[in-house]
Amino acid sequence: QSVLTQPPSVSAAPGQKVTISCSGSSSNIESNYIFWYQQLPGTAPKPLIENNDKRSSGIPDRFSGSKSGTSATLAITGLQTGDEADYFCGTWDNSLSAWVFGGGTKLTVL
């Protein structure tokens, strides 16, 4: 099982907003920056959000990140069919001395 917990799937209609949660603990999310990655079908992950809430290079402002305590949230507004992908959260875990990830959330744009 993944160290960080994400919902397996979320869905929303085009133009709507969706949020994806990522839950961890004091040794990972609470103590370190959280990162979000987007994995389009058949491709490698690419960075979306770094350092909790900073958009990576080239990422539109429809994507935003936040963190509170042991949880983090990725929000996507103005959903487009091209946003259909798997989304992963990741961070460093002080207890494991390892980078850890969530199990991924599959976004479906209905």
Partner 1 sequence: QVTLRESGPALVKPTQTLTLTCTFSGLSLSTSAIFVSWIRQSPGKGLEWLARIDWDDDKYYSTSLKTRLTISKDTSKNQVVLTMTNMDPVDTATYYCARQGYSSGPFDHWGQGTLVMVSS
Contact footprint for partner 1 (CB under 8 A): 2, 32-33, 35, 37, 43-47, 50-51, 56, 88, 90, 92, 96-104
Q: Which is nearer to partner 1, 8 or 82 (CB)?
A: 8
Q: Least distance (Å) from partner 1 to the CB of residue 33? A: 7
How far apart (Å, rounded) are the C-alpha atoms in residues 92 and 75? 21
With contact defined as beta carbons under 8 Å apart, do 70 and 25 qualify?
Answer: yes
Q: Which is nearer to partner 1, 15 or 96 (CB)?
A: 96
Q: Which is nearer to partner 1, 96 or 110 (CB)?
A: 96
Phi-psi region of 52 (alpha: psi -120 to 50; beta: other; left: phi over 0): left
With contact defined as beta carbons under 8 Å apart, do 55 and 49 qualify?
Answer: yes
